[in-house]
Chains A and B, each alone.
Chain A
Amino acid sequence: DAGVIQSPRHEVTEMGQEVTLRCKPISGHDYLFWYRQTMMRGLELLIYFNNNVPIDDSGMPEDRFSAKMPNASFSTLKIQPSEPRDSAVYFCASRGMNQPQHFGDGTRLSIL
């Protein structure tokens, strides 16, 4: 079975540019999570969806961050405009009811 698929794997861009990260969850999973991982702050939950509906976005750091889930098989995390402090590894994870979370391989984002 295919796992959680994230794209791109690496992204390098200049500050001020728009960045879009993409995620395809495991088929049948009804929860989707976006995390950010840095050395300083560890693994932080940004936002999560249940049945394509955003449930808790309290972890989204600023209005520059937004996330959507237009259907059960696709989600995006957008940063506009990007800043150097947004550099991190961004993970998407999904799970079914009462199941453990499965993580994608992440997107390593560098903002210059």
Chain B
Amino acid sequence: GQSLEQPSEVTAVEGAIVQINCTYQTSGFYGLSWYQQHDGGAPTFLSYNGLDGLEETGRFSSFLSRSDSYGYLLLQELQMKDSASYFCAVRTSGYSTLTFGKGTMLLVSP
């Protein structure tokens, strides 16, 4: 099976940079995705890493190291609206599904 570990909660202040880590154990790893979910809302796709390295999308970046079974989501210039839960999810080769971590709640304060 698959397992993912990410911190349950992270706090930061507006304007700061925060990194949310995700480690995974899986066979046949295919790629790592990140989703954002505001309280009570739909999870929304943020980024995907299929290869090692950094993917940048505006204020958000995501990194993957396949050899370390590790990835992170980097949020820069934090805004109050970034307060949400962030989920990493793995896709394994041969499967069309995602397995989600338990999520990291990010609290951004003024």
Partner-binding segment picked from B11-19, B38-46, B56-64, B73-81: B38-46
> In the complex, are the beta carbons of A91 and B42 less than 8 A apart?
yes
**Given known contacts A33-B97, A42-B101, A50-B96, is B42 in contact with A100 (CB within 8 Å)?**
no
**Given known contacts A100-B45, A105-B41, A106-B42, is B99 in contact with A45 (CB within 8 Å)?**
yes
**Given known contacts A42-B103, A43-B87, is B98 in contact with A104 (CB within 8 Å)?**
no
**Given known contacts A100-B48, A106-B42, is B102 in contact with A42 (CB within 8 Å)?**
yes
Categorize the interface residue count of chain B.
10 to 19
- Report B-chain residues with C-beta under 8 Å of the C-beta of A101: 45, 98
Work out how many contacts link A and B, with CB atoms closer than 8 A: 40
B102 to chain A, nearest CB (A): 5
> In the complex, are the beta carbons of B42 and A103 less than 8 A apart?
yes
Chain B residues engaging chain A, CB cutoff 8 angstroms: 33, 40-45, 48, 87, 96-103
Instruction: List the 3 closest A-B pairs by CB distance, nearest first.
Output: A100-B45, A103-B42, A43-B100
Chain A residues engaging chain B, CB cutoff 8 angstroms: 3-4, 31, 33, 42-43, 45, 48, 50, 55-56, 89, 91, 93, 100-106, 108
